[in-house]
Amino acid sequence: MLATFLHSLATIDWACWGVWTLTTVLMIIGMVGSVVPFLPGPLLIFIAALLHTLLRPVSGISWWCIGLLFLLLVLSYALDFASGAVGARWFGGTRWGMVGVIVGGIAGMFFSLPGLLIGPIAGAFIFEMLFARQEFKPAVKSTWGTVVGTGLGLVLRLAVSTAMVAAFVIDALWI
């Protein structure tokens, strides 16, 4: 019985299991990174697909799919970059508010997750009040636009990341 078990272990393609495990772990971290700040989710998904193709060409994806994943990666970062700005603009924000979002985001990095969430919002509000010289209500409205735009951007980034994983799975397993 032990000999049969050892023979079974000897016939397993451990390289295949290792590559698929690495790919799966990177893609799961990438999906988590789509909603958690400072984890480059879509980039990790792209790297996982590329590494899988390079390490295991037999079950890798086509170069067309890699091109599609790259376009989706660029789209996710464009959506991420533009969402807060578009939301703030839509709610009447100024350029100073946009600068405040960036400055608040950088300052918030030093205060962990709460700072990452509160920093851009506080930055937008403070810059709208101090530099754009807006009244309280318009500054709050603009800040709310930043929150709505960033939230929408988060949902869109998660959708793009899900599409990236789906494209990989379809190309690697079914095509």
pLDDT tens per residue, range 92-106 = 888 888 888 888 878
Q: How far apart are the first and last CA of the chain?
A: 39
At 2 the pLDDT is: 80
What range does the domain containing 117 cover?
14-174
Tally of domains in the chain: 1
At 20 the pLDDT is: 93
The verdict on residue 80 lying in a domain is yes
- DSSP annotation of 1 reads -
At 44 the pLDDT is: 96
Asked if residue 67 lies in contact with residue 95, where contact means CB atoms within 8 angstroms, the answer is: no
At 42 the pLDDT is: 95
The verdict on residue 3 lying in a domain is no
The verdict on residue 135 lying in a domain is yes
Asked if residue 45 lies in contact with residue 31, where contact means CB atoms within 8 angstroms, the answer is: yes
Question: Which CA distances in Å does 119 have to 39, 51, 92?
Answer: 17, 35, 20
Rounded Cα gap, residues 138 and 157, in angstroms = 28
99: left (phi over 0), alpha (psi -120 to 50) or beta: alpha
What residue ranges of the chain have pLDDT lower than 50?
none
The verdict on residue 1 lying in a domain is no
The verdict on residue 67 lying in a domain is yes
The verdict on residue 47 lying in a domain is yes
At 166 the pLDDT is: 97
Task: Output the pTM of the full model.
Answer: 0.79
The verdict on residue 6 lying in a domain is no
At 175 the pLDDT is: 67
CA dihedral 159, 106, 144, 138 (to 10 degrees): -150
At 9 the pLDDT is: 67
The verdict on residue 8 lying in a domain is no
Rounded Cα gap, residues 53 and 61, in angstroms = 6
